[in-house]
Amino acid sequence: MKKNKATLADIANTLDVSISTVSRALKGHPRIGTKTKEKVLEAARDLGYMSPSMLASEVSKRSKFIGVIVPKISYHLYAMAISGIEKVAETRGMHIIVCQSNESQEREQSLVHELMDLGVVGVIASLASETTDFSHFDALKNRKIPLVFFNRQCDEVETDKVVIDNYKASCDATEHLIAIGCKKIAYLGGPEILQINKVRAAGFKSTLQKSSLEPYTDFMVYANFEKQSTLSAARKLLYSPITPDGVLAYSDQMAIGLMVAAKERGLKIPEDIAIIGFNNEPVDELLEPSLTSVDQPALVMGEESANLIFKQIDNKEEGYKKKILKSFLVVRNSTNRNRV
């Protein structure tokens, strides 16, 4: 066979695989395993389908990508963080592959392995709310692929992390509710297994205890990130025998669900119930009343995560760092009782 006449069919026949498998392998398709890709590239070279320079070019292309895994791209914090990551990556002539886990551990695990098969040179991730097994991230480290966690992280995997001080932010928000006169303060949390939620709940509870305000038994409720789950948890709070007069919510989306339930209940905000969220999303200013929220520097969080991944790639990082960014409370009308 003349090398310059080789076709996809020739490679497929040599390896006893389908032509579609050969085509996908040459394009670096994530569904094709690493070993199969290597065999296809080797056969392509030997048969003359691709010259050594062309093969080198393909490998080079695959090494210009950073994988980014977020729970949902639709969350404002992650959309901004992705922009920050991309901004830094572009200065290095790199591109990002953005994936969303949809809060699923199984999907997150699959995405990590697919990104490894694609040959990414690093992964920046924020954990899915369902994730309790972190072995897929250990697999990254075993392959010497740099890893950075941001916003949602875990103690079980030792690597670089970029977060805010969620404990302090929760304490500050709770102190604000106390300062405006709230006595019956509740916490509307995210999934109980999520570490970031546990930290925020701990800050909330600690602040109440220091102020001699023990949380009522039914005043710490939890929900997943689906709308109906949030509404159900909010209604559980608001239709309890004792109605809270102040609530700290895990996120702005949960706070908005609480506002909907409060209006259903006939409660005035902030006169009857004051509400605080997390993330400071753009919509907060447009709500009636506007929502008090903890601002998180999402864009900077993305930029710092990218800076750390490149330090690992360049082998300039000595030991792992946990970078804690500043957050602050943006006070709006949902807690502004002075305005009332």
pLDDT for 59: 54
In three-state form (DSSP H/G/I as H, E/B as E, the rest C), the secondary structure along the chain is CCHHHCCHHHHHHHHCCCHHHHHHHHCCCCCCCHHHHHHHHHHHHHHCCCCHHHHHHHHHHHCCEEEEEECCCCCHHHHHHHHHHHHHHHHCCCEEEEEECCCCHHHHHHHHHHHHHHCCCCEEECCCCCCCCCHHHHHHHHCCCCEEEECCCCCCCCCEEEEECHHHHHHHHHHHHHHCCCCCEEEEECCCCCHHHHHHHHHHHHHHHHCCCCCCCCCEEECCCCHHHHHHHHHHHHCCCCCCCEEEECCHHHHHHHHHHHHHCCCCCCCCCEEEEEECCHHHHHCCCCCEEEECCHHHHHHHHHHHHHHHHCCCCCCCCEEEECCEEECCCCCCCCCC
Distances in Å between the Cα of 20 and the Cα atoms of 13, 26, 31, 32, 187 are 12, 10, 12, 11, 53
pLDDT for 171: 97
To the question of pTM greater than 0.85 for the whole model, the response is no
CATH code of the region 166-296: 3.40.50.2300
Same fold, 64-163+298-322 and 166-296: yes
> CA–CA separation, 185 vs 171, rounded Å?
13
Assigned architecture for domain 64-163+298-322: 3-Layer(aba) Sandwich (3.40)
Per-residue pLDDT tens over the stretch 12-54: 889 998 888 888 888 777 678 778 888 888 888 788 776 555 5
pLDDT for 252: 97
Residues of the chain with pLDDT under 50: 1-4, 340
| Paired residues of 330 in beta bridges | 293
Per-residue pLDDT tens over the stretch 195-217: 999 999 999 999 999 998 876 77
**What residues does each domain of the chain span?**
1-39, 64-163+298-322, 166-296
pLDDT for 2: 41
pLDDT for 316: 66
pLDDT for 12: 87
pLDDT for 256: 97
Say if residues 244 and 185 touch (Cβ distance below 8 Å). Answer: yes
